[in-house]
Amino acid sequence: MIRIAVFCSGSGTNLQALLDACAAGTIDGTVALVVSDRKDAYALARAEAAGVETLYIDPRGFAGKEAYEEKVIAALDGHRIDLICLAGYMRVLSPFFIRRYKHKILNIHPALLPAFKGGHAIADALAFGAKVTGVTVHFATEELDNGPIILQEAVIIKEGDTPETLLERVHAVEHRLYPQAVQLIARGRLKVEGRKVHIASSE
């Protein structure tokens, strides 16, 4: 059973998907800690409702990013965390942090990477006139939205889609795909070779 920390800055819908999957037994693990850089993040309320310990740390109270992250690391160590899941966490992690948890940090992105990187992927896909976008679960690396890809799934962009309607369908895929990726790690089925992630058979 792996112990998971989920980092959130907002409403935490992907956190809820992970909490639900752990409760249902479709993830062989438990969410042991939810970390947020925003006191008003609804994700904290979701965690508390599920009986999960939360940690809010105001980044403004530290001299720099590394000092802030050292405080977070101490909490992760104290909770014996095996895997970190970024779920709408709006702070860019430092190379110092990424290197410490190499291949132990997952991120979910609302596009088919390497297309539409960054924080406006839904709007960017619509503005570009793309016919297909999707969801990517990948390992976090020092370069933003550039880590080895674990799972991807396409989402068709429909005529007349708005950012809200497209996001709703993307979220539906995210909430299914993220728990699947976490379970692959929980079962030890992933092997990373350079940019490629190999998935071993479940048999």
DSSP codes of every residue in 51-95 = T--EEE--GGGSSSHHHHHHHHHHHHHHTT--EEEESS--SPPPH
Is the separation of the CB atoms in 141 and 93 below 8 Å?
Answer: no
Pairing mode, if any, of strands 83-86 and 54-56? unpaired
- Neighbouring-strand partners of residue 120: none
Among residues 79, 109, 120, 171, which one is catalytic?
A: 109
HSE-up of residue 33 (Cα within 13 Å, Cβ side): 21
Residue 109 known to be catalytic: yes
**Which amino acids are annotated catalytic?**
109
